Chain A
Amino acid sequence: MPPKPKLAVWKFASCDGCQLSLLDCEDELLAIADAVEIANFAEATRHFEPGPYDLSLVEGSITTPHDATRIREVRAQSRRLITIGACATAGGIQALRNFRDVREMASVVYASPQYIDTLATSTPISDHVKVDFELRGCPINKRQLLEVILAFLHRRKPLVSAESVCVECKLRGNVCVMTAHGTPCLGPVTHAGCGAICPAYDRGCHGCFGPKETPNTAALAAQWKTLGASPAEISRAFRSFNGYAEAFRIESLRHE
């Protein structure tokens, strides 16, 4: 039998929620452990196998000079590198610093800011190294994570659609909260993947999966205005977990 592919999970600036999605694959976890050798996964085991790795899952954004060096080392040891979650693909909620002066903020937050060694920005992994696939979501969907691992194992394209959340709403049978209730919703510009959770519970989409393919954020923002949203509300809505993703960043700046 050929050796099992080696899987490594890496953490940068993040909350760990995305990598925990892997442990969350409870029913499939043993099958995953059968299919791959879990060589580095600090949330699961202290056992650590040195590289190189066949597949690296990278969580978190780059926020320190040390991160920027370490991601290059990870890349150098990884045959395939897949980023998981909004932090790794868009900079995460911590990329709110990118719109402000980080030194000023550090001086307000920390008693001794001179010990803080941080970059001025929080940036996605793809700003630093080549990324083979970006899995979206805050947090990622465990079904999609499984699909990405499967696709890697079977050397096929992952079945992860970049269409809107609206399609998921319709497939789920949700009544559109924007048209039927007048609730501002980011669904029409947001990448599918969550299964349209928020609209199913009578709330507008928060855009956790970031911009969809060809998002028309300007047209959606204009409709939000018609529904009574203020410029500040529009700006804040676009500037959350995926606020530094290009389409959302530009739209949030337009209404600042």
Chain B
Amino acid sequence: MSPPSVQSILERDRLQDLFDVLHRRGYTVIGPTVRDRAIVCEALRAASDLPEGWEDVPEAGSYRLRRRPDKALFGFTVPTNSWKEWLHPKRLKLLGAGRDGEGNLHFTPGDDAEPPKLAFLGARSCELHAIAIQDRVFLGGTFVDPHYAKRRANVLIIATNCGRAGGTCFCVSMNTGPSVDGRRTPFDLSLTELLDDSGHRFLLEAGSQTGTALLDELPVREVTTRELRAARTLLDNTASQMGRSLETQGLAETMLQNLDHPRWQQVADRCLNCANCTMVCPTCFCTTVEDVTSLTGDHAERWRRWDSCFNLDFTWMHGGPARQSARSRYRQWLTHKLATWHEQFGSSGCVGCGRCISWCPVGIDLTEEARALRAP
């Protein structure tokens, strides 16, 4: 049973209190900030690190920051990087191996440190859905990823409703946003930024016992009916602003029935097979395993790191890579993401965050590709 919904208002100038409460509880706050002319998620020290007065303009193959007329802190859409890097590390030591003085082989554990307690501040609805997908990938099957499991257990989520959609957003099509829904994607606290004539404040809602306890420690006041209505209107507006759309009805079948569609070659002609889309995708999870040895040859380590189905080595088997052409690699990625993912993990692998569109150096748009595949 989910805890009763508790909604309260926290004023903008008391947002630092949220950081203080989280820090007292031993959490490192991971959230959005401005770096290198983009919104990136990283460890934040204080509320003043948040991207005040900035918004992003994501388009196909292009991303720009611009000043907002107001001082909104969450006025952007999604950060350049997704939260997956804190749950599914880019690089991870799996084990060490060595020989003792008598030549006996012995193994040492890899990264077995207790993961830090992290508070994800600003995770959007699409991103919560992405985390839920990776939960199914890493925790849902017969083989549970212990590295993901222990990190995931230490994360507190402060979800954030979207007050604005970007040019590459299509969460409405994917039924993953823009408002967070605790029944589908649990959170500890949700936050809706309200900025109008009556001031700059946050509507907070507890979604767990921890969230309720956090609210108890914060200088919040009761929410007014007018503020609840403002929040509702804001989210309705966001839902109507989606820059992209994707018709998902019958999409999986269409794609799998069109594996020889000429469009695959057309997109391959544009595709750089650079792997950016898979790196920024919040659900892509593939890794490779690499062994390193010491100069003396008495010590070896096994490391796991992010890999991509766009890399040739990804399908290297005896004799060479199975998917040599860019066409076969792009097709593999898109059909997995939008079609076979359903069969494998019970949902689409796409949450409509739009990152693969914005961060593709040549602006390949998967919604456009999916549409083209429907045409004969």
Interface flag for A175 (CB, 8 Å): yes
The tally of residues in A whose CB lies under 8 Å from a CB in B reads 43
Besides A31-B295, A176-B359, A214-B324, 8 more A-B contacts (Cβ < 8 Å) are: A32-B295, A156-B291, A156-B293, A167-B274, A171-B279, A175-B36, A180-B63, A188-B276
Instruction: Encode B32-62 as 1/0 by CB contact (under 8 A) with A.
Output: 0001111010100000000000000000011
List the one stretch of A42-50, A96-104, A216-224, A247-255 in contact with chain B. Answer: A216-224
Minimum-distance CB pairs A-B, first 7: A170-B279, A188-B274, A175-B36, A188-B272, A31-B295, A166-B274, A164-B274
A163 at the interface (CB under 8 A from B): yes
In angstroms, how far is the closest chain B Cβ from the Cβ of A132?
A: 18
Kindly specify which of B8-16, B200-208, B305-313 makes contact with the partner chain.
Answer: B305-313
For the complex, count residues of B whose C-beta is within 8 A of A: 46
Report chain B residues within 8 Å CB of A164: 272-275
Known contacts A166-B274, A213-B312, A219-B271; A185/B80 CB under 8 A: no
User: Is B96 in contact with chain A by the CB < 8 A criterion?
Assistant: no
A126 to chain B, nearest CB (A): 19
Interface status of B81 (Cβ within 8 A of chain A): yes
The answer to whether A31 and B61 touch (CB under 8 A), given A174-B36, A188-B276, is no
Q: Are A161 and B313 in contact (CB under 8 A)?
A: yes
CB distance from A122 to the nearest CB of B (A): 28
Contact across chains for B306 and A171 when beta carbons are under 8 A apart: yes
Closest-CB distance, B105 to chain A (whole angstroms)? 15
Quick one: CB contact mask for B318-330 with A, threshold 8 Å, 1 for yes? 0000001010000
Question: How many angstroms between the C-alpha atoms of A173 and B359 in the bound complex?
Answer: 13
By a beta-carbon cutoff of 8 Å, the part of chain B in contact with chain A is 35-38, 40, 42, 61-64, 80-81, 90-91, 269-276, 279-280, 290-297, 305-306, 308, 311-313, 324, 326, 358-363
Which residues in B have their C-beta under 8 angstroms from that of A154?
293, 297
Is the Cβ of B295 less than 8 Å from the Cβ of A188? no
Residues of A contacting B91 with CB < 8 Å? Answer: 171
29 A-B pairs within 8 Å (CB atoms) are namely A34-B296, A147-B292, A156-B293, A162-B312, A163-B311, A164-B272, A166-B275, A166-B361, A167-B306, A167-B311, A170-B90, A173-B42, A175-B35, A175-B36, A175-B40, A175-B80, A179-B63, A179-B361, A180-B64, A182-B62, A188-B272, A188-B274, A213-B311, A216-B271, A216-B326, A219-B270, A219-B272, A219-B362, A220-B362
On whether A28 and B271 interact (CB within 8 A), knowing A159-B290, A182-B62, the answer reads: no
Inter-chain contacts of A146 with B (CB < 8 A): 295
A130 at the interface (CB under 8 A from B): no
- Taking the nearest CB of chain A, how far is it from the CB of B264, in angstroms? 15
| Chain A residue, CB-CB nearest to B91 | A171
A181 touches B276 (CB 8 A): no
